[in-house]
Structure 1
């Protein structure tokens, strides 16, 4: 992990949109499932996941979901239950309600807020299982009021059940009633277009590999999607008071995600920079995912030495990181100056994994600098809004001429006449009655 001066650092981001071959494969799979439904879905499950299933075996039964409790340790169940409660409590505070505003002239304006009807949640499976992803996608949708939440996850090779028991427990705790053992681009296509076994959804959310990401992009417009997520990233802003061991551990917590993950320290203290560099080397030696973390640190990690914390904050805002930790003597002093960050962790005990798993805020956060203009997953993502307009006769007569002026300026005469015909009719009736 190299130490560089601020003047020498160049921010470079790689956005993986897949190879031409990967894009072609995804297009073929999506089109096949769209046209052939379950037949295509089962064919690709056999080809990619090495599992031969019938249409009747796609859905995971309630008994299979509940049986998972016998396959996991009680401590995990307790942890998931408490994490679920924290996540639900946090997202409950985001709930919104419809509103109406009646004005003195009888005009009624408002907004009707309703949940989406049906949402599809993709949960990675196979070699990697992330039960926390279940909670972070399902619970906000539930809080929003979504009635139908369907979960898809790839079957692990070997055995008909093929679903990691920890994922099944998380699903049960989150209240998932509809789950299918299918993954990859074929699962995204099934959610988007529907098959005989899986009804189509209104929105697809949840992380996945490059094929899943490309499939989400392919079906966007037919359904909504959450985002095109990039590699995980963390930036730590620190001064000389920070604990080097804590910082190194947190940098490595993101580096172990995958080789493309980014871990950056921004500090005003050269001595801290050296201590963190040594700690990263020391801690890396005993990591089970050492090879992955080492490549991430080597290729996408950096320790940036700035002249002062003001310059450090400027760097942070330019990078717009997914995760930002502030480890300074008075972290609240700098909080108000942060403009771009997906999630902000304050102080030495707010380690990034606290947010990943337990605290309550959502851990699905904008990456690749998109925190400049986007936000973590929240309840709003599962809501749709309708504007409400009821104009009174008095309001139309008062403002009709202005509406027609704008319409005719835009060359839309029919728009103007739609107002004019009403105004003439009302004016005629008023004269007749007078």
Structure 2
């Protein structure tokens, strides 16, 4: 018997058959240790089955995996095969492996790798500014939470945040909480964008924290932010937007198609839609690309139409639309009969809203002519008893009588005789 925690001792490995009552002994697999209270054996029973294998080998423990300073370890258990994870406190980043695994190391078990380090996230030195200084000049390093304060020389007003601090956005790299202030007046250049214009914030001089809002000309769409603010370094942030020629992405309609194959369309381009057989258009059959990149009216939807099954087959006849794959509400089917048969009932049926055909399909019945009779005469050829189209009958009169009409007549598809039955 194969066990996950133990293996047969060598003296039993090549033995294929065990007699009833025979005991097999096991040794613990690497990573497992003996439970002294349980015997590492199983016994062959009278029914030819092995006795239940108790868990006489237990997983070994790696002990405590260690905990980094300014961090913590997340432990579920410390047994062979388990994994522990490490995290750092806010403002620190992890240097080393995020996890350790309890694994085999020689004849024992041990944690893989080393305990990682939680390092305080550093920032580059704060920027120097003309006509001013900051309190970080005496500091050797700057890390998460460090703060510096700027002060301007006499005669230069401070514009912006006087104090900034080291922070992080990604939990790995440090950055300063704001741009450094400016010593002196801030003058941002008048913002201009091509194919667009300012719609608010228009003034002769732009100072710190002045906002400007932009919009694009018709036929152009904006890439970037519509609002930008004057910064302490005479720049605009976010950067000024760009007005690009407006385009509409090629519209797609499921279970339908368009009349165009272009990947993009320009303003005022029109696209037409139609649905696949068995689907009906919900919405406008055409749409136009707008200056803002939208389609108007909105792209329609092709909805599944109510359908009827294939029209019923009839004996000795056929429907006129056998090639159609889909039969939607309102579809009509006409029946026709094979030669020698005539239609009884309605020739046309229709797919109705209930998903059925109405009225019932017609029948194709065999065409038979009534047996022709002649007084004072007799049939000399074609005596029946059944007469089908194109069957011929010939007559002759009794002695003393003459034939008035054609001597030979033929059964027609409309169940009449042509020429008419003669007289004697």
Fold shared per TM-score above 0.5: no
Greater per-residue strand proportion = 2
Structure 2 length as normaliser, TM-score?
A: 0.17
The structure with higher relative contact order (CA 8 Å, sep 6+) is: 1
Q: Which of 1 and 2 has greater Rg?
A: 2
Structure 1 length as normaliser, TM-score?
A: 0.17
